[in-house]
């Protein structure tokens, strides 16, 4: 199989600052909270930690949505959400072996970003409703959480495939902020590191509170276990 000729060493491609610090921090929070929420999903004893991960995922996604309107140019939805014609042209180009580094998300990736954010928010929202006592929401939450895991798996596979096809090191770019882009792309002027640092401090503060004795879900596991003992089967929200 022949590989595409475009690569990051091509004179038409330069490596420069692209993903600002809030984009990268929020992404890291999404990865960690999905992994954490998945690991703690089944056990009653980890309920408070599971809720904390779910709220962290929802918070990161809501902030990413807002940043998509007011953030740096490559972070804005207006710069990467494209119509079906652009997506089709991108996919045709891929099949023809013409894939080069993009100045941000490619047209297919733009829709994957929206799908991940929407599914993540629905999964977290239904989890919240289930915790509030809506037993009917438990199945909805499980289904949406599984859909999110599937989508995240497809997302990672697509990122790795695109990195290969376009000779574009997408994962290091999401970590360092520096990415291969077509020459002439304006570099991201401010990486907003201070804002990301404030977000990180706020996240740590949230976790300190969320795992402490004043959080509403403190002792949720014990209460639920007691409820189960009293009622013989499932927890009711009035006990
Ligand atoms: C180890 C797992 C993951 C890796 C290696 C990874 C990697 C990446 C990379 C490289 C990008 C940039 C793609 C591009 O250049 O167009 C990206 C974007 C994105 N990923 Fe992931 N990802 C992972 C897991 C997740 C998870 C679990 C979620 C959500 C639950 C997620 C949500 C997103 C979103 C929303 C974006 C858009 C970033 C932005 O514009 O803010 N990713 N990911």
Q: 202-213, pLDDT tens digit by residue?
A: 999 999 999 999
Distance from the alpha carbon of residue 239 to the mean position of ligand 1, in angstroms:
41
Cβ of residue 124 lying under 6 Å from some atom of ligand 1 = no
Boundaries of every domain in the chain: 13-212
Q: 81-104, pLDDT tens digit by residue?
A: 999 999 999 999 988 988 889 999
Mean pLDDT confidence for 157-182: 96
Q: 119-150, pLDDT tens digit by residue?
A: 999 999 999 999 999 999 999 999 999 999 99
| CATH fold for the domain made of 13-212 | Fumarate Reductase Cytochrome B subunit (1.20.950)
Q: Is 8 exposed, middle or buried (0-12, 13-18, 19+ CB in 10 A)?
A: middle
Cβ of residue 171 lying under 6 Å from some atom of ligand 1 = yes
């Amino acid at each position: 199989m022949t590989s595409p000729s475009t690569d990051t060493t091509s004179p038409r491609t330069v490596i420069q600052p692209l993903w600002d610090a809030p984009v990268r921090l929020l992404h890291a929070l999404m990865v960690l909270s999905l992994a954490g929420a998945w690991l703690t999903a089944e056990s009653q004893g980890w309920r408070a930690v599971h809720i904390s991960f779910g709220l962290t995922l929802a918070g990161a996604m809501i902030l990413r949505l807002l940043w998509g309107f007011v953030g740096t140019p490559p972070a804005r939805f207006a710069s990467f959400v494209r119509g079906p014609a652009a997506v089709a042209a991108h996919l045709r180009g891929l099949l023809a072996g013409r894939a080069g580094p993009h100045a941000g998300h490619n047209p297919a990736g733009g829709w994957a970003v929206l799908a991940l954010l929407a599914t993540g928010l629905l999964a977290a929202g239904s989890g919240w409703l289930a915790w509030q006592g809506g037993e009917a929401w438990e199945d909805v939450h499980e289904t949406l959480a599984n859909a999110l895991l599937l989508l995240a798996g497809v997302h990672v596979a697509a990122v790795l495939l695109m990195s290969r096809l376009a000779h574009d090191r997408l994962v290091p770019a999401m970590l360092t902020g520096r990415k291969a882009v077509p020459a002439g792309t304006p570099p991201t002027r401010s990486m907003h590191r201070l804002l990301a640092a404030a977000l990180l401090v706020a996240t740590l503060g949230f976790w300190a509170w969320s795992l402490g004795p004043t959080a509403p879900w403190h002792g949720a596991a014990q209460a639920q276990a007691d409820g189960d003992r009293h009622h013989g089967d499932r927890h009711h929200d009035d006990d």
